[in-house]
Amino acid sequence: MKKLLYLFFALGLLISCGAPTDPSPYSFELTAFDGDGTKKEITFKIQKQIIDSLGIKKNDLILMGITATNYADWDVKNKSTYSYDRNGLNFISLLTTDEKTTITFSVMGSSKNSFGVEGNLTTFTEFNLETLKLIRDENEMPIVLTSEF
């Protein structure tokens, strides 16, 4: 009987410990809502240099990721048909041009055009490397680029 009690005690410890809640410092999940209101969990992969070399905190990246997912359907004509790609490669990387370096969020999804034909999209949202704020144009509109493939 004592052995059975030890077994239940050990089993209880194993179950209560469970899997780690933050398995990788280089990824995180966010909850987002499709155009029709369907709830989806999407995963972002983080370029290691952003955390290791630049020391940007994961919590800051999560807040920026929320903003990026909110703008994922920015250039979509039929917003109610937008759907996040649950299996897509959503990533956070550094983008360097002649003028500046930004933190760029890539969000994959799909949307239907006016004829009902679905197309795959990738939306790129850029953030200032120093302030971690969304980059806006001279009219204070966010700079969001969408690519169809």
Domain assignment of residue 11, yes or no:
no
* 79 C-beta neighbours (distance < 10 Å), count: 13
Does the reported pTM lie above 0.85? Answer: no
Whether residue 10 is predicted with pLDDT greater than 70 in this model: the reply is no
For the chain, the domain total comes to: 1
Domain assignment of residue 9, yes or no:
no
Domain assignment of residue 75, yes or no:
yes
User: What is the residue whose two structure tokens read 């990533």?
Assistant: 91
pLDDT in tens, 46-97: 999 999 999 999 999 999 999 999 999 999 989 999 999 988 889 999 999 8
Whether residue 17 is predicted with pLDDT greater than 80 in this model: the reply is no
Domain region containing 80: 25-148
Give the percent of the chain with pLDDT over 70: 85
pLDDT band at 16 (very low <50, low <70, confident <90, very high): very low
* 137 C-beta neighbours (distance < 10 Å), count: 8
